């Protein structure tokens, strides 16, 4: 692939916080309840990598097609989440069913409940490696590059307003979201490091 770096890349991780952090330097985003994925795109060549650095393309064949048609940059690397929506909420169980050895079953499930990709970070654009660029600048670049993206590929919402983040935390739980992520705007992308904070809903059996 004609990119400044090749897969696999260890994704940047988050450490658990028991309360919503505050600070002018934080960017808040919803925490999606799906499969973490890095997308490498070079023309029509698509490679989807899992959190544990394994290929995911065979389990989400329809997403490969969607990513080619989504008005993404010709060459880029994105970090984000694969999700499936059933009704008005995220369906993590439907994602788990995709990890199946039978190609015919994966194809059937893809037709019944197609997946979507929610992007939240831009790690490379063309020949440019953006991993050393501060988070805040990467977010701005991501918004520009995904301004015309089409479903089922989406740009995740982001805010610097802690009160908005708290509302997301409270209101989105019913839709199956997992909480909120807080990212310092000054940090580069740190593969394998717990450089972000996650505030998760406490679910009881």
Answer yes or no: are the C-beta atoms of 113 and 152 closer than 8 Å. no
Which secondary structure element, helix H or strand E, spans residue 136, and what is its range?
helix 135-145
Catalytic position from the list 31, 107, 193, 200: 31
Q: What gap in Å lies between CA 156 and CA 162, rounded to an integer?
A: 16
Phi, psi of 93 (to 5 degrees): -60, -35
CB pairs under 8 A, 24+ apart, for 8-11?
A: 8/49, 8/53, 8/54, 9/38, 9/49, 9/53, 9/77, 9/123, 9/191, 10/53, 10/191, 10/192, 11/36, 11/38, 11/51, 11/79, 11/191, 11/192
The DSSP bridge pattern shows strands 179-184 and 194-200 to be: antiparallel
Cα gap 114→95, rounded to integer Å: 10
Please tell me the distance from the alpha carbon of residue 58 to that of residue 22, in angstroms, as a whole number: 41
54 is catalytic: no
Q: Supply the residues annotated as catalytic.
A: 31
């Amino acid at each position: 692939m004609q990119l400044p770096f090749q897969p696999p890349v260890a994704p940047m991780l988050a450490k658990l916080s028991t309360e919503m952090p505050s600070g002018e330097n934080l960017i808040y985003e919803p925490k999606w309840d799906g499969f973490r994925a890095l997308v490498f795109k070079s023309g029509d060549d698509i490679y989807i990598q899992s959190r544990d650095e394994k290929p995911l393309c065979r389990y989400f064949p329809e997403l490969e097609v969607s990513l080619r048609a989504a008005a993404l940059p010709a060459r880029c690397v994105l970090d984000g989440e694969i999700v499936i929506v059933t009704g008005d909420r995220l369906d993590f169980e439907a994602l788990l069913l995709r990890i199946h050895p039978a190609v015919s079953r994966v194809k059937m499930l893809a037709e019944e409940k197609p997946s979507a990709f929610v992007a939240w970070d831009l790690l490379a654009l063309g020949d440019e490696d953006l991993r050393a660029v501060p988070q805040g600048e990467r977010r701005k670049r991501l918004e520009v590059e995904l301004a015309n993206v089409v479903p089922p590929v989406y740009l995740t919402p982001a805010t610097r307003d802690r009160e908005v983040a708290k509302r997301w935390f409270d209101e989105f739980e019913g839709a199956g979201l997992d909480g909120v992520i807080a990212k310092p705007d000054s940090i580069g992308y740190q593969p394998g490091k717990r450089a972000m904070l996650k505030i998760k809903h406490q679910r009881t059996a």
